[in-house]
Amino acid sequence: MSKVMVVDDEKDVVYLIKVLMEREKMEVLEAYNGLEAYNKLTSTDPNKVIPDAIILDIMMPEMDGYTFQSKLQEIEGLSHIPIVILTAKGQMKDLFELSSNIFAFVEKPFEPKNLVKIVKDAIASKK
């Protein structure tokens, strides 16, 4: 079963994406800011789950999506995870231009079927 981490400070968005992905038989990991997601992925817990893809918001409290993504790129076991940037700010693309782990950009509001296809493509790209 594919695993997707959703990182967004808007609980409604996380819930909607969770429903969409679970409908596609994916396991969903939730985080409500970059710091929470980072801590989950870097924890020493032997049972921690590493996602096959990450759906990442940019503008969040505690640690924004850009900082989170930059930190992930520095960690060998996590730098390969494809990231789908989900943002209301289309102009943010320039910030990520040199990032090898960014798979796609999706602007809010998003088309649910399109997001599902992009996430499936991101997971497939890893294999």
- Domain count across the chain: 1
DSSP annotation of 75 reads S
Which residues have a Cβ under 8 Å from the Cβ of 22 and sit 6 or more positions away? 28
How far is the C-alpha of 127 from the C-alpha of 122, rounded, in Å?
9
Q: What band does 99 get if pLDDT is binned at 50, 70 and 90?
A: confident
The range of the structural domain enclosing residue 67 comes to: 3-126
**Distance (Å, whole) CA 113 – CA 125:** 18
In the chain, the largest separation of any two C-alpha atoms, in whole Å, equals 39
Contact (Cβ atoms closer than 8 angstroms) between residue 104 and residue 85: yes
pLDDT tens digit string along 35-94?
Answer: 999 999 999 999 899 999 999 999 999 999 999 999 999 999 999 999 999 987 665 666
The enclosing domain of 37 has a CATH number of: 3.40.50.2300
